[in-house]
Structure 1
Amino acid sequence: MKFGLQLGYWMAQPPENAGELVVAAEDAGFDAVFAAESWGSDAFGPLTWWGSSTERVRLGTSVVQMAARTPAATAMHALTLDHLSGGRAILGLGVSGPQVVEGWYGQPFAKPLQRTREYVGIIRRILERQGPVTNDGPHYPLPYSGPGATGLGKPLKPIVHPLRADLPIWLGAEGPKNVALTAEIADGWLAIYYAPRLANMYNDWLDEGFARAGARRSRADFEIAASCQVVITDDAASEIERMRWIMALYIGGMGAPEQNFHAQVYRRMGYEREVDEIASLFQAGKKAEAAAAVPDELILDTAIIGDEEHVRKQLGVWSAAGVTMMLVSVSDVAQLRRLAPLVDM
């Protein structure tokens, strides 16, 4: 099993120790470093800046939001990063949710699966550079010929020859249809809130995609990178308490009350009653009560917290469930170095 460092997205200010963490991750044998975006910092800039001090780790986006850029713009970012890093880029994409897509980017959210398929298809044709790129799909027509078009649009191919036509594209997906699509058209799955005890359910979703005509990969060469809090500590209770607040935010405050994809993930795990209570309290402004309503088992379904022996055992469980990379967040270099002995399991 491989390890990836998740830098995440910035909060009010840029993190002070991210560059140090990136170098430490490479020194510790991590396979990759990932950066994310929400509605503040972008994902490509930090990877280019901090990744320039590395030589081996792959540099991935987890995730860039498709509504933020046209497919061509995203392909330009990816091929540029791939050249600058000597072929180490991973393009992780995600649809985000309607609050961000429509509220921040001013784009329609409808038909996310169709948009994803069309978006990825355009990027692949750009990276292949076999000829000028056209697309007759309804979401990203190339050349554009809709309202306001001049009629002068010309099909183009990238001036720069991409370093790799097969630059890996991974998709962030949570629901069954999106996961199946990921298995069909992508090179890897960026899984958030993965629970090993539900591996059979995830495998059914993935197998549906692998079985489709023209599927890009099989399970043998498909990567599953699961975001997971992996914390080596002798005080698991304190760490669980800290995570209650994070889970309350994501279950109760991320997305609209009527459409929160993170909440749906936990409902599928069997926490329907708990999710409803957490969401109701959080949306009423009772954040402390919402955090208190998060049960230990909900946290431990998707996190590994305990002493080194416990963490080592649980990593084996995740690996047996099909996870090929643990995508972890750490607060400082000391915590990262505690994980280093587990990297070569």
Structure 2
Amino acid sequence: MKLGLTLGYWGARQPEGQPELVALAEQLGFDSVWTAEAYGSDALTPLAWLGSRTSRLRLGTSVVQMSARTPAATAMAAMTMDHLTGGRFVLGIGASGPQVVEGWYGQPYPKPLARTREYVTILRQAFAREVVAFDGEHYRLPFPGGTGLGKPLRSTIHPVRPDIPILLAAEGPKNVALAAEIADGWIPLFYSPTDDEHYRAALQEGFARDGARRSAEDFEVACMVPVVIGDDADTAADQVRPMLALYIGGMGARGVNFHYEVFARMGFEAECAGIQDLYLDGRRDEAAAAVPLAMVEKIALVGPREKIADDLAAWKGSLLTTMMIGGDANTLRLMAELVA
């Protein structure tokens, strides 16, 4: 299992100290650094700026939202990044959710799996420097109608790699199976090494499909794992609880929340219902307080150094090939020591 540094997306402004953290991660032997986007900072610009200061780290997006850019625009960005980094770019993409897709990007959300399949097909055509033409349900190139002057085009730049790695963000079993079938890796948002039977089954289903791109042996699984060092696990978990309350309670509507469903599958359905009710009622602090320690410990490493070292054993034996972690310099140093 390799280590990646996750920088996420910005809050109100660029977080302080990111260049120093990236430099430290490279010095400590981390394999990669990852950026994200929601509906504020984008993923590609900070990654290019920070990545220009590195020489070895893989630079990944976790994730680029598909609705933010047409497949051709994402392909252009990915090929440009691969040139700028000497073949170190990793393209993580995701469908996001209906609130962001329809509310922020003004794009339709239905049929995300079919849309993802078409999107990836077009990306691969562009990466291979083929003449890009596609007649799908969601994407059509050239555009039918308009002036009638559109024509199939080939990228003007010659890609460094004609097969830039594509990782899919996925939470539901059907989407995870799709990742195993058409992508080079999978980015789970919340993953528990002790509750992953349905993920293993979904991945195996995808690998077994005709034309599957990879197998379990050469498939990347890169997941963000919160790490909080502290004398007391429950107190350390307080730094993770607000984030879980946000995703379980507020990142989606009642009855349509993929993050809620992840934790419900782990056996926390009653807790999720309570957290969501509190959050949607505007009682966010109470929602965070309602997140049990056991839920935090499923997806995070919290507590004293010795406990984190013990709990890490389950992660080393899990599906993960890349553990993305954030935090301060001490956290990075500790994880580099423990994973090594």
TM over 0.5: yes
What's 1:96 paired with? 96
Distance apart, 1:305 and its partner CA: 1.3
Deviation at 1:247, TM superposition (A): 1.2
Match for 1:238: what amino acid?
A: T
Q: 2:258 aligns with which of 257, 261, 264?
A: 261
> What does residue 143 of structure 2 align with?
144
Q: Is contact 1:232–1:339 with CA below 8 Å preserved after alignment?
A: no
Once the two structures are TM-superposed, the CA of residue 343 in structure 1 deviates from its matched residue by 3.6
- How far did 1:264 drift? 1.0
In structure 1, how many angstroms separate the alpha carbons of the residues matched to 2:313 and 2:76?
A: 38
Match of 2:194, SS?
A: helix
Corresponding residue for residue 134 of structure 2: 135
Which whole-Å CA distance do the structure 2 matches of 1:285 and 1:27 have between them? 43
1:47-126 counterparts in 2 under 5 A?
Answer: 47-126=47-126
Cross-structure match for 2:214: 217
CA RMSD of aligned residues (A): 1.1
Shift of 1:155: 0.3
1:176 paired to 2:176:
no
Cα distance, 1:311 vs. partner? 2.0
The residue correspondences of 1:321-340 to structure 2 (distance < 5 A) are 321-330=318-327, 332-340=328-336
Post-superposition shift, 1:340?
Answer: 2.3
| Deviation, structure 1 residue 242 | 2.4
Q: Which runs of 5+ in 1 are unaligned?
A: none
Following superposition, the deviation at residue 132 of structure 1 comes to 1.1
Q: Distance in 1 between matches of 2:46 and 2:339?
A: 24
Structure 2: gaps of 5 or more residues: none
In the alignment, the residues of structure 2 paired with residue 181 and residue 69 of structure 1 have an alpha-carbon distance, to the nearest angstrom, of: 21
Q: Report how far residue 291 of structure 1 moved.
A: 1.4
Q: Distance in 2 between matches of 1:20 and 1:343?
A: 21
For 2:162 and 2:316, locate their aligned partners in 1 and report how far apart those are by CA, in whole Å: 30
| Pick aligned residue for 2:158 from 158, 161, 177 | 161
Which runs of structure 2 are paired with 1:211-290 in the superposition (5 Å)? 211-290=208-287
Query: In 2, Cα distance between the equivalents of 1:11 and 1:232?
Result: 23
Aligned partner of 1:45 in structure 2 is 45
2:33 & 2:239 partners in 1: Cα distance? 24
Q: Distance in 2 between matches of 1:215 and 1:143?
A: 27
Q: Report the alpha carbon displacement of residue 232 of structure 1 after superposing the two structures with TM.
A: 3.2
2:195 pairs, out of 179, 193, 198, with 198
State the one-letter code of the partner of 2:82.
D
Measure, in 1, the Cα distance between the counterparts of 2:107 and 2:298: 34
Secondary structure of the structure 2 residue equivalent to 1:335 = helix
Once the two structures are overlaid, the 10-residue window that deviates more, 94-103 or 246-255, is 246-255
What one-letter code is carried by the residue in structure 2 that aligns with 1:46?
Answer: P
CA contact (8 A) 2:169 2:186 kept: yes
Partner of 2:307: 310
Query: Which string of whole-angstrom CA distances, capped at 9 and with x for unpartnered residues, describes residues 182-229 of structure 1?
Result: 000001111111011122221101000000000000000001112111
Cα distance between partner residues in 2 of 1:340 and 1:272: 35
Report the CA distance between 1:72 and its aligned residue: 0.4
Question: For 1:156 and 1:9, how far apart are their aligned partners in 2?
Answer: 33
SS of 1:50's equivalent in the other structure is helix
Q: Give the drift of 1:133.
A: 0.8
**Alignment identity in percent?**
56
Report the alpha carbon displacement of residue 172 of structure 1 after superposing the two structures with TM: 0.5
Scaled by the length of structure 1, the TM-score of the pair is 0.96
SS at 1:314 equivalent: helix
Helix, strand or coil for the counterpart of 2:314?
Answer: helix
TM-score (norm 2): 0.97
CA distance in 2, matches of 1:10, 1:75: 24
SS of structure 1 residue aligned to 2:21: helix
Q: Please, which moves more after superposition, 78-87 or 311-320?
A: 311-320
In the aligned structure 2, how far is the partner of 1:197 from the partner of 1:233?
Answer: 23
Report the Cα offset of residue 308 of structure 1. Answer: 2.7
Residues 258-292 of structure 1 show CA distances to partners (whole Å, capped at 9, x for unaligned) of: 31111111111111111111100111111122112
Instruction: Give the partner amino acid of 1:215.
Output: A
Q: Distance in 2 between matches of 1:320 and 1:308?
A: 19
Question: What SS does the aligned partner of 1:197 have?
Answer: coil
CA distance in structure 2 between the partners assigned to 1:312 and 1:225 by the alignment: 20
Q: Residue type of the partner of 1:163?
A: V
State the Cα distance separating 1:175 from its structure 2 match: 0.1
Structure 1, 27-36 or 300-309: larger mean CA deviation: 300-309
CA distance in 2, matches of 1:268, 1:235: 27
Q: How many angstroms does 1:325 deviate by?
A: 1.0
Deviation larger for 289-298 or 118-127: 289-298
CA distance in 2, matches of 1:335, 1:319: 18
Q: What is the deviation of 1:237? A: 2.3
Distance across 1 between alignment mates of 2:288 and 2:312: 27
